[in-house]
Protein backbone atom coordinates (compact mmCIF):
# COMPACT_ATOMS: atom_id res chain seq x y z
CA UNK A 1 0.00 0.00 0.00
CA UNK A 2 1.34 3.43 -0.94
CA UNK A 3 2.47 5.58 1.96
CA UNK A 4 3.37 9.15 2.74
CA UNK A 5 6.92 9.19 4.09
CA UNK A 6 7.99 11.66 6.76
CA UNK A 7 11.26 12.17 8.54
CA UNK A 8 12.45 12.44 11.17
CA UNK A 9 9.91 10.64 13.37
CA UNK A 10 11.08 12.50 16.46
CA UNK A 11 13.03 15.71 16.90
CA UNK A 12 14.18 17.48 20.03
CA UNK A 13 15.56 20.94 19.56
CA UNK A 14 16.45 23.89 21.73
CA UNK A 15 14.44 27.04 21.41
CA UNK A 16 15.82 29.57 18.95
CA UNK A 17 17.35 26.79 16.87
CA UNK A 18 16.28 25.93 13.34
CA UNK A 19 14.48 22.68 12.55
CA UNK A 20 13.29 21.10 9.32
CA UNK A 21 10.89 18.31 8.46
CA UNK A 22 10.67 16.37 5.22
CA UNK A 23 7.74 14.75 3.46
CA UNK A 24 7.50 12.53 0.39
CA UNK A 25 3.86 12.14 -0.72
CA UNK A 26 2.29 9.22 -2.51
CA UNK A 27 3.51 9.11 -6.09
CA UNK A 28 1.23 11.03 -8.39
CA UNK A 29 -0.54 12.98 -5.64
CA UNK A 30 -0.52 16.59 -6.72
CA UNK A 31 -1.93 18.01 -3.50
CA UNK A 32 0.20 18.07 -0.38
CA UNK A 33 -0.68 19.43 3.05
CA UNK A 34 1.21 20.20 6.23
CA UNK A 35 -0.83 20.04 9.42
CA UNK A 36 0.12 20.67 13.03
CA UNK A 37 -1.50 18.72 15.80
CA UNK A 38 -1.16 19.86 19.40
CA UNK A 39 -1.94 17.19 21.96
CA UNK A 40 -5.64 17.17 22.80
CA UNK A 41 -6.58 19.08 19.67
CA UNK A 42 -7.39 18.18 16.10
CA UNK A 43 -4.93 18.71 13.23
CA UNK A 44 -4.81 22.29 11.94
CA UNK A 45 -3.77 23.17 8.42
CA UNK A 46 -0.53 25.08 8.03
CA UNK A 47 -0.04 25.04 4.27
CA UNK A 48 -1.46 23.42 1.16
CA UNK A 49 0.42 22.85 -2.11
CA UNK A 50 -0.93 22.03 -5.53
CA UNK A 51 2.08 20.68 -7.39
CA UNK A 52 4.82 23.21 -6.60
CA UNK A 53 2.47 26.11 -5.91
CA UNK A 54 1.17 27.24 -2.53
CA UNK A 55 -2.64 27.17 -2.56
CA UNK A 56 -3.19 28.27 1.03
CA UNK A 57 -0.71 29.36 3.66
CA UNK A 58 -3.03 31.68 5.54
CA UNK A 59 -2.47 29.79 8.82
CA UNK A 60 1.29 29.51 8.47
CA UNK A 61 3.19 31.76 10.93
CA UNK A 62 5.35 33.22 8.21
CA UNK A 63 7.67 35.09 10.54
CA UNK A 64 9.21 31.79 11.56
CA UNK A 65 7.75 29.04 9.37
CA UNK A 66 8.48 28.36 5.72
CA UNK A 67 7.48 25.55 3.39
CA UNK A 68 8.56 24.59 -0.07
CA UNK A 69 7.85 21.96 -2.68
CA UNK A 70 10.30 22.95 -5.35
CA UNK A 71 9.75 20.19 -7.90
CA UNK A 72 6.17 19.45 -6.99
CA UNK A 73 7.08 16.16 -5.34
CA UNK A 74 8.62 16.13 -1.87
CA UNK A 75 8.30 19.01 0.54
CA UNK A 76 10.18 20.59 3.43
CA UNK A 77 8.72 22.53 6.36
CA UNK A 78 11.15 24.69 8.31
CA UNK A 79 10.90 26.53 11.60
CA UNK A 80 13.45 29.20 12.47
CA UNK A 81 13.73 30.07 15.27
CA UNK A 82 11.82 27.37 17.13
CA UNK A 83 9.78 28.41 20.16
CA UNK A 84 8.51 26.34 23.08
CA UNK A 85 4.95 26.63 21.76
CA UNK A 86 5.94 24.90 18.53
CA UNK A 87 6.10 21.57 20.32
CA UNK A 88 3.54 19.43 18.49
CA UNK A 89 3.18 16.67 15.92
CA UNK A 90 3.71 17.87 12.37
CA UNK A 91 1.72 15.83 9.89
CA UNK A 92 2.09 15.69 6.14
CA UNK A 93 -0.73 14.41 3.97
CA UNK A 94 -1.30 13.99 0.27
CA UNK A 95 -4.42 13.69 -1.80
CA UNK A 96 -5.16 12.18 -5.15
CA UNK A 97 -8.51 12.32 -6.89
CA UNK A 98 -10.52 11.06 -3.93
CA UNK A 99 -11.71 13.40 -1.22
CA UNK A 100 -9.79 11.92 1.65
CA UNK A 101 -6.17 12.41 2.55
CA UNK A 102 -3.45 9.91 3.33
CA UNK A 103 -1.34 11.01 6.25
CA UNK A 104 2.25 10.19 7.04
CA UNK A 105 3.35 9.01 10.47
CA UNK A 106 4.23 12.54 11.49
CA UNK A 107 7.20 14.20 13.17
CA UNK A 108 6.93 14.70 16.91
CA UNK A 109 8.74 17.95 17.71
CA UNK A 110 9.78 18.84 21.24
CA UNK A 111 11.29 22.26 21.81
CA UNK A 112 13.23 22.58 25.07
Partner 1 sequence: DQQVKQNSPSLSVQEGRISILNCDYTNSMFDYFLWYKKYPAEGPTFLISISSIKDKNEDGRFTVFLNKSAKHLSLHIVPSQPGDSAVYFCAASAAGSARQLTFGSGTQLTVLP
Q: Report the interface residues with partner 1, using CB under 8 A.
A: 4, 6, 9, 31, 33, 40-45, 48, 50, 55-56, 91, 93, 95, 99-106, 108
Task: Write a three-state SS string for the chain.
Answer: CCCCEEECCEEEECCCCCEEEEEECCCCCCEEEEEEECCCCCCEEEEEEECCEEEECCCCCCCCEEEECCCCCCEEEEECCCCHHHCEEEEEEEECCCCCCEECCCEEEEEC
Q: CA–CA separation, 40 vs 21, rounded Å? A: 22
- Of 61 and 81, CB closest to partner 1: 61
Question: Least distance to partner 1 from the beta carbon of 65, Å?
Answer: 18
**Considering the complex, what minimum distance in angstroms separates the CB of residue 28 from partner 1?**
17
Report in angstroms how near the CB of residue 73 gets to partner 1 at its nearest: 19
Identity of the residue, 18 or 55, whose beta carbon is nearer to partner 1 in the bound complex: 55
Residue among 9 and 15 whose Cβ is closer to partner 1? 9
* Complex with partner 1: residue 10 or 16, whichever CB lies closer: 10
Amino acid sequence: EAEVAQSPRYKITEKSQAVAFWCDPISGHATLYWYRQILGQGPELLVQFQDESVVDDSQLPKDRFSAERLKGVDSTLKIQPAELGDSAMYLCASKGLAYGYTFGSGTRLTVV
